[in-house]
Each structure stands twice: as structure tokens, then as C-alpha cells.
Amino acid sequence: MTISGVELYEVWMPLKSEFRTSFGATRLRPAILVRILDSSGEEGWGEVVAGEGPWYSCETVYTAWEVLRRELIPLLPPEADPKAFIERASRVRGHNMAKAGVEMALWDLKARLERRPLYEMIGGERRPVKVGVSVGVKDSVEELLKTISYYLEKGYGRIKLKIMPGWDLEVVERVRREYPDIPLQVDANAAYRLSDWPHLKGLDKYGLLMLEQPLHYDDLVDHASLKRLLNTPLCLDESVKTPLHARWALQLDSADIVNLKPGRVGGIIAGLEIHRIWYEEAHRPLWIGGMLETGVGRAFLVTLATLPGVRFPSDISASDRYYEEDIITEPWTLEKGSTLSPRKAPGIGVEVDWSRLEKYTRRRWGKRLEASR
């Protein structure tokens, strides 16, 4: 059973509403869907979560496209072996999102060939998985409160607010006054400096689950200082790019919690390694973060959220929170208790809807591979 081909689809998905953070606003969400084909006729899908510009990370959908074609696709192993791919791709520095798209497609293909659901293959235990919703910056607090009430009525049991200078303490104050008891957390996407700590200290009185990535996107040192100054638990997102960063964050005591995104860290193998370091060795909790994924990327998030160290609701909302129509045949839907359930079908258990994929595809690329590699 050898890999016989690979296809890339760059899709641009219109969001139902603008998603605004401290680093910018998104209306059209790009993604690269990776399809890997096997000589037996089986296929696996992955998703590259890089954005339109280098705002969340230095990768973009454009850099990822080039790195995939020029560097990563030529490193595909002869068989559906994600570990072999990651070893071969270790000479490529960075470009984790591009790597993750290929690695995840190999995992899906491998699990489908073995007729097993992927969550079972990676040692997942918790299912269904608890999820929440991440709410962007709005034009007014009234608009934000309306949005929150809409999601609470839909059944979401945890709210994450995006914060930034000028949209923080007063906003949290108003939300807390309206909803004194909901599980609530905030994400700054690196919008503050350590010297802002007296201001951030003002968050301590709101009983937040955590404060996510307040400081620089590469920082582990100032976060360690901030952690000692705040009572609100500190969570890292952008700063944990590889398992090494998780190790350093422990050594420096930079955070209580890690938001684990498979795209950001280079795939499932790196994600499992971070889970091992952070949870199994250090007994600190994790949760799974999202990047506004299509139904394909979302399936990998649900898969990872079944891991035992995932102790907080994850940023994995239903398809209809993001898109009018998802590119998979059966969209992700919210279930009771603010949960999503991994699919029992082999692999990630989702099928791509070809007419929708075509509708949103801006460019595509494909390559047949020789069996003799």
C-alpha cells in the first residue's frame, strides 16, 4: 500500500461574521486542504491553518503553499507513515502549519487503512469532548453582550473573550455583571507588555478560568514573571511552537495551562509530545485551541480533545458558528452539555463535499507519485 498522489486545495471560506482579535479582523478564512491518495484507493485529508497574513504566526497561506510544493511534498514517505514524514521533514525549520497539514492527512489515511477511528489510535479517552466559543472584539459592549447571549442560548457552556488595550477590564466587568457565573476566560493574542501588569492585575477579581497569551508571541520569560504577579491562571498559545517550548515553559514556570493547537505545533505527533510533557510528566492541564478550521481541521481538534490531559473546554465550536456551509458532508453540531463527539468511522470520520470544496477553491495543485521513492 503505497502513497500514489497528493492534492492541495486553497479554499477561502466566508465567515458568517467578522472575527476580530488584537492582531486583526478576518472575514474570509483561507485554508489549504491536503488530500493524500493511496494505491489501494483510500485517501486521507489534512488542513493547513495558516492565515492570510503573518499576524497570528509568521506563516501565511502563501508561504505554506510554496513550502508544501517545494519542500514538504517531496519528503513524503512511500507509505502512510506520519512518523517517517516528521523525521524526514525535521530538516525543514519552522513552517509547522504546512507540516501539520501533511502529517494530519497521513494520520487520517493511516487510520482509515487500519479501519480505526483516529482518536482511538492516539489514546483518546474523553468523549464526547467539552467545548466553548471564542468571541471576537466587537464595536460595542452591547453588541458583545448580544453575541454572548446568542451563544449561551445555543448551548455553549464556556465563553472566551478576545481582549486588547482599550477592550479589556471594562468589557469583562460588564460581561461579569450580566453573567456572574458563566465559565469565562480571556485571550489577548500578545497585545500587552510585562509593564502592563498592574492593569492586567485588574482581571483577578473576575474569577476567570485563565488569561491566554497576554505577552509577546515568542516570550516565555516575561510570562514567568507575570505568572507570579497574577492570581488568574496563565495560559500560553502563540509562544508554545514545539515540544521544546513546552519543556522550557515548565523549566521557567511560564504558565499554568497550555492551549494546544495541532496546526501551530506541527501536527499530532508534536501535539502528543506536548501532552506527554505538560500533562503526563508535569500534571498540568491543557485544552485544544482552534483556528477557525473547516470541518476537516475541526475533526483533528475533536480527536485531540479526547486526550486525558484536556481539562478545560476547548475552542471547538460547531460548523454553524463559523460558516453558512461547511465543506464536509455532515457538519459538526453542538450536543448536550456543550459537547462535540468524535466520529466512529475510520480516520477522522468526515467526508469532503466535493461541490462545496470546488465552490470555495481558488487554486489547486496535484502530483502523482512514483511507487519507487
Catalytically active residues are 162, 261
Helix (H, G, I), strand (E, B) or coil at 328: strand
Asked if residues 74 and 288 have their Cβ atoms less than 8 Å apart, the reply is: no
Binding site for ligand OSB (CB under 6 A): 56, 134, 187, 189, 237, 289-292, 315, 317
C-alpha 41 chain-centroid distance: 29
**How far is residue 150 CA from its own chain's centroid?**
23
- Tell me whether the omega of the peptide bond preceding residue 128 falls within 30 degrees of 0, making it cis: yes
Per partner kind, with CB cut-offs from 5 to 8 A, the member of ligand OSB, Mg ion, none near residue 292 is ligand OSB
Q: C-beta of 261: minimal distance to Mg ion in Å?
A: 8
**115 phi and psi, to 5 degrees?**
60, 40
Instruction: Give bridge partners of residue 159 from the DSSP assignment.
Output: 133, 184
Whether 345 contacts 44, CB under 8 Å? no
> Of the two residues 99 and 298, which places its CB atom closer to ligand OSB in the complex?
298
The whole-angstrom separation of Cα 267 and Cα 363 is 24
**Quick one: what does residue 60 bind among Mg ion, ligand OSB, none, with the CB cut-off 5 to 8 Å set by partner type?**
none
Binding mask 184-213 for Mg ion (x = CB under 5 A): ---x------------------------x-
Give the nearer residue to ligand OSB in terms of CB position, either 222 or 237.
237
DSSP code of 15? E
Position closest to ligand OSB via CB:
290
Stretch that binds Mg ion, among 67-75, 180-188, 301-309, 331-339 (CB under 5 A): 180-188
Residue 317 partner contact from Mg ion, ligand OSB, none using kind-dependent CB cut-offs of 5 to 8 Å: ligand OSB
**Which lies closer to Mg ion via its Cβ, residue 77 or residue 266?**
266
361-368 and 3-21 as β-strands: parallel, antiparallel, unpaired? Answer: antiparallel
Count Cβ atoms below 10 Å from residue 146 Cβ, excluding itself.
Answer: 11
Give the shortest CB-103-to-ligand OSB separation in angstroms: 19
134 binds, among ligand OSB, Mg ion, none (CB under 5 to 8 A by kind): ligand OSB
Q: Provide the minimum distance between the beta carbon of 158 and ligand OSB in the complex, in angstroms, as a whole number.
A: 12
**Shortest gap between Cβ of 290 and ligand OSB (angstroms)?**
2
Phi and psi, residue 13, nearest 5°: -105, 120
Terminal-residue alpha carbon distance, the chain: 13
Interface with Mg ion includes 43 (CB under 5 A)?
Answer: no
One-letter amino acid identity for 148? I
Q: Which is nearer to ligand OSB, 1 or 152 (CB)?
A: 152
Minimum CB distance to Mg ion, residue 187 (Å): 4
Please give the Cα distance from 3 to 329 (Å, whole number).
25
Stretch that binds Mg ion, among 71-79, 182-190, 199-207, 300-308 (CB under 5 A): 182-190
Kindly tell me which of 134 and 232 has the beta carbon lying closer to ligand OSB: 134
Residue 108 vs 212, nearer CB to Mg ion:
212
The cell numbers describing 253, all together, are 514556570
Q: Which is nearer to ligand OSB, 222 or 315 (CB)?
A: 315
DSSP state of 204: G
Indicate the residue whose CB is closest to Mg ion: 237
Contact partner, 339, from Mg ion, ligand OSB, none, Cβ < 5-8 Å per class: none
Q: How far is the CB of 368 from ligand OSB (least distance, A)?
A: 34
Site string for Mg ion, 230-269 (x = CB under 5 A): -------x--------------------------------
The least distance separating ligand OSB from the CB of residue 151, rounded to whole angstroms, comes to 11
Contact partner at residue 290 from Mg ion, ligand OSB, none, CB < 5 to 8 Å by partner kind: ligand OSB
Q: Helices (DSSP H) in the chain: which residue ranges?
A: 61-67, 82-88, 96-113, 118-121, 141-154, 169-178, 197-200, 221-229, 243-252, 262-265, 268-275, 295-304, 319-322, 354-360
C-beta neighbour count of 120 within 10 angstroms:
17
Burial of 248 per CB tally in 10 Å (0-12, 13-18, 19+):
middle
Q: Which residues bind Mg ion (CB under 5 A)?
A: 187, 212, 237
